[in-house]
Amino acid sequence: MEDWQALVADERVLVTRDILRYNDMDDNGHLNNSVFTVLCESGRVHYFRERVTPHLPDHTFFVIARIAIDFKAEAFYPGEALTATWLEHLGRSSLRVRQKIMSADKIVAEAEGVCVVMDEATRKPFPIPDATRAALEPLLHAP
C-alpha cells in the first residue's frame, strides 16, 4: 500500500478508475483474466488521450503490439479497480507503458503494453517525431 501511494503520487503516473461488474466474474467466482486486459485498455486509452495523442501528428494512430499481464491476486465483484499507467520506454516508433492494477487494497496485476505509432496513409509504423519525443521524455518513469 505504501508503494501504491508513492506510485500514484508521482505526476507521471495516471490513475484510471473502473467499477467492477457482476458479469466480470467467471465460473471461478472471481474476475476473469480477460477483464484485466479490458482494465489495462481503459488505463492505456485514458493515458494516451491525456498525455500522448495531443503530441502526435494528426495523420497517425496507435495499435497495440503486445500485452503481458502478471496476475498477482484474485479480484472480486462488487468492488472497484484502479489502474496506474505510466510511460516506461520510447522506441523508434513504439512506446511501452507499464501498469499496476489495485483492487480491494491489493495489487492484483502488473502489466506492460507496447503500442506502435502508425501512419494512416501507409498503415506502416511511423517514427516518433523529435517534438513528440521531447514532449514525452519527461513522462518516462521507471519506479
Q: Which amino acid is at 62?
A: F
Closer CB to its own copies, residue 49 or residue 133?
49
Residue with cell 495499435: 63
C-beta of 143: minimal distance to its own copies in Å?
A: 20
Q: Is 92 in the site for its own copies (CB under 8 A)?
A: no
Residues 36-65, mask of contacts with its own copies (x by CB under 8 A) = -xxx-xx--xx----------------xxx
Residue with cell 492505456: 44
Judged by CB under 8 A, the residue of 66, 89, 92, 133 near its own copies is 66
> Is there a contact between 48 and 115 (Cβ–Cβ < 8 Å)?
yes
**HEC readout, 32-101:** CHHHHHHHHHHHHHHHHHHHHHHHCCCCEEEEEEEEEEEECCCCCCCCEEEEEEEEEEECCCEEEEEEEE
Q: Is 104 in the site for its own copies (CB under 8 A)?
A: no
Residue with cell 498503415: 123
C-beta of 19: minimal distance to its own copies in Å?
A: 5
Query: How far out from the chain centre does Cα 51 lie?
Result: 12
Closer CB to its own copies, residue 12 or residue 37?
37
Judged by CB under 8 A, the residue of 29, 58, 105, 122 near its own copies is 29
Positions touching its own copies (CB under 8 A) are 17-19, 21-23, 25-27, 29, 32-35, 37-39, 41-42, 45-46, 63-71, 78
